[in-house]
């Protein structure tokens, strides 16, 4: 007759988990998270279409709730600073060159600082333009021609600051970049947005825009300006006034007549934009355009 051996109990550490432990594992599982609360899931490549839709919808709903009816987009360099700061930077660059007069990098830094000082007055013009527009159009609870920028420093900061000078709302469309770009402090907090996708940010720049004012700037300014001109040229956008601040700068930067001479654009395309030298001139051009919803002064 076979001998029955007593059952050997597994060590405590190897015992099967009890019911509560099993339930806790289920509750902690990523699959159990609600889809709208699962950031790992929402960041999958397959969810890009959903993210694009959300990025279109969130700023649209908030602007609607804030009563934003129309906007003016202000573009320009993130690297331009106030005249006093530009002068200080030039003095520092010149002092560094004195210490190392044969250093080519120091010479280049001085030349750049001089150019930056020459462009610095545009900071004040951007600030004054935004103050003028905001004090004219945001009265009696109206939110027309609200200033919108890319949310960063430089000309963007100046424009948001000008609106703040008038105790008016302004919008900042910031974007995630490899090197973090913090929003400037003059944006209305409830109207400061952060985008992941340039494409959706571009759409929001123009969805409510009645005018675009471009100050001297680099790649970002060129990108937005030429995209807007292309939309106007092709009829995808109508009733939008484009103003280039500082004719000397723009004529040195872009050979517009050459584009016409080579048949790359039509002579009529040069009417898609106007020039201005001061904040008041820019605003007068926008008002004179007489778009259907243009406010009266």
pLDDT digit string (tens) for 19-78? 888 999 999 999 999 999 999 999 999 999 999 999 999 999 999 999 999 999 999 999
Q: How many domains does the chain have?
A: 2
Per-residue confidence (pLDDT) for residue 13, from 0 to 100: 60
Q: Which domain holds residue 176?
A: 59-81+121-288
Q: What six digits make up the tokens of 297?
A: 């002064």
| Same structural domain, 91 and 210 | no
- For residue range 233-250, list pLDDT tens digits in order: 999 999 999 999 999 999
| Same structural domain, 107 and 177 | no
Q: Is residue 159 part of a domain?
A: yes
- Cα 123 to Cα 77: distance, rounded to the nearest angstrom: 9
Q: Is residue 147 part of a domain?
A: yes
Task: State the first-to-last Cα distance of the chain, in angstroms, to the nearest integer.
Answer: 111
Q: Which of the 8 DSSP states describes residue 186?
A: T
Q: Is residue 242 part of a domain?
A: yes
Q: Is residue 100 part of a domain?
A: yes
Q: Would you place residue 159 in the very low, low, confident or very high pLDDT band (cuts 50, 70, 90)? A: very high
| Same structural domain, 99 and 137 | no
Per-residue confidence (pLDDT) for residue 297, from 0 to 100: 40
Q: What six digits make up the tokens of 48?
A: 């890009």
Q: Is residue 14 part of a domain?
A: no
Q: What is the DSSP string of 172-202?
A: EEEE--SS--PPPTTS-GGGEEEES-HHHHH
């Amino acid at each position: 007759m076979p001998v029955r051996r007593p059952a050997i109990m597994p060590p405590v550490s190897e015992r099967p988990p009890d019911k509560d432990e099993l339930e806790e594992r289920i509750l902690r599982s990523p699959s159990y998270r609600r889809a709208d609360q699962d950031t790992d899931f929402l960041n999958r490549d397959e969810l890009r279409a959903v993210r694009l839709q959300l990025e279109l919808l969130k700023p649209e709903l908030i602007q609607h709730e804030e009563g934003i009816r129309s906007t003016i987009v202000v573009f320009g360099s993130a690297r331009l600073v106030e005249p006093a700061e530009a002068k200080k930077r030039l003095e520092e660059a010149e002092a560094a060159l004195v210490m190392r007069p044969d250093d080519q990098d120091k010479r280049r830094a001085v030349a750049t600082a001089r150019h930056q000082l020459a462009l610095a007055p545009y900071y004040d013009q951007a600030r004054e333009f935004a103050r003028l527009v905001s004090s004219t159009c945001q009265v009696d609870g109206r939110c027309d021609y609200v200033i919108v920028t890319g949310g960063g420093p430089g000309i963007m900061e100046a424009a948001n600051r000008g609106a703040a000078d008038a105790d008016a709302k302004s919008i900042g469309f910031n974007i995630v970049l490899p090197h973090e770009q913090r929003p400037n402090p003059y944006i209305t907090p409830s109207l400061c947005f952060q985008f992941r996708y340039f494409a959706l940010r571009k759409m929001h720049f123009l969805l409510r825009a009645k005018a675009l004012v471009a100050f001297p700037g680099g790649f970002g300014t060129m990108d937005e300006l030429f995209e807007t001109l292309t939309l106007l040229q092709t009829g995808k956008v109508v009733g939008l006034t484009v103003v280039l601040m500082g004719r000397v700068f723009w004529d040195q930067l872009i050979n517009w007549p050459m584009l016409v001479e080579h048949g790359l654009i039509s002579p009529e395309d040069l009417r898609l934009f106007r020039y201005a030298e001061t904040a008041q001139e820019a605003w007068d051009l926008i008002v004179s355009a007489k778009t259907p919803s243009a406010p009266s002064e």
